[in-house]
Amino acid sequence: AAPAVAWAASSYHYERRRSGAHAESSRRVVTSVHRDDWRYGAWRDASGGLDFLAARWRDACSAGGTAARPSLVKIRLRKALVFDDIATGDDYHAQLAAFARAHRHRDVHLALEQDFDLAGWDADERMLGVRRPLGAPGRLWTPAGFWIATSLGLTVPYRGLLERRCAVSTLEVVKRVRSLRPEAPPG
């Protein structure tokens, strides 16, 4: 999925209110919110593909030596955005600065937020993988086993045992982006 990089500029000021002789409170009043997207030229997935995923999977499964090979692997996914070259990074920061300049005079204060998103990405992206054919995890480590343990009030011990049986692997989904603006010709 193509990466989406968005900026939001919130203009605000504080209003002070007195209630009583000595009590004073202030509240933040947002007067405008503007959004814009970073326009980049091209992107490509630099995560390594399925071969890299399989290698990381094997590494996680071989943790602890061959005698204690876990049959379950908890996979955590992270996302990263990487600039393809220095010109792309400069272009990104120039567009962000222009966006901030366009909105900085709307009120007393300005808050800038940056967001990087991938279509269909869950913020808490995790998976549980089963290593086959080298070993089945057993019936207890299935969704039905979880619900049986839960119905018996054994969720905490179940999770503790599951943690001991699992290897952990973190896979990073990397998107490389290139600037829309052409580089200056040499010379």
pLDDT 10s digits, 75-124: 788 889 999 999 999 999 999 999 999 998 889 999 999 999 888 787 67
Contact of 56 with 25, CB cutoff 8 Å = no
Burial 157-167 (b: 16+ CB within 10 A, else e): ebeeebeeebb
Q: Is the pLDDT of residue 183 over 60?
A: no
The phi-psi region of residue 61 (left if phi > 0; otherwise alpha if psi is between -120 and 50; otherwise beta) is: alpha
Residues contacting residue 42 through CB under 8 Å, at least 6 positions apart: 177, 178
Tell whether pTM > 0.85: no
- Segment 6-35 shows an average pLDDT of 88
Cβ–Cβ < 8 Å for 87, 95: no
With vertex at residue 35, the alpha carbon angle to CA 29 and CA 40, rounded to the nearest 5 degrees, is 155
**CA neighbours closer than 13 Å in the CB half-sphere of residue 10:** 9
Measured on CA atoms in the order 121, 126, 132, 138, is the torsion positive or negative? negative
Q: What is residue 185's predicted lDDT score, i.e. its pLDDT?
A: 44
Q: Where are the alpha helices (DSSP H) in the chain?
A: 49-61, 86-103, 143-151, 155-165
- Both tokens of 97, joined, read 């600065």
Whether 54 has a pLDDT exceeding 90, the answer reads no
User: Which of 25-29, 61-65, 121-125, 137-141 is the most confident on average?
Assistant: 25-29
Band the pLDDT of 161: cuts 50, 70, 90: confident
Q: How far apart are CA 116 and CA 45, in angstroms?
A: 15
Q: Which of 38, 34, 11 is nearest to 95 (CA)?
A: 38
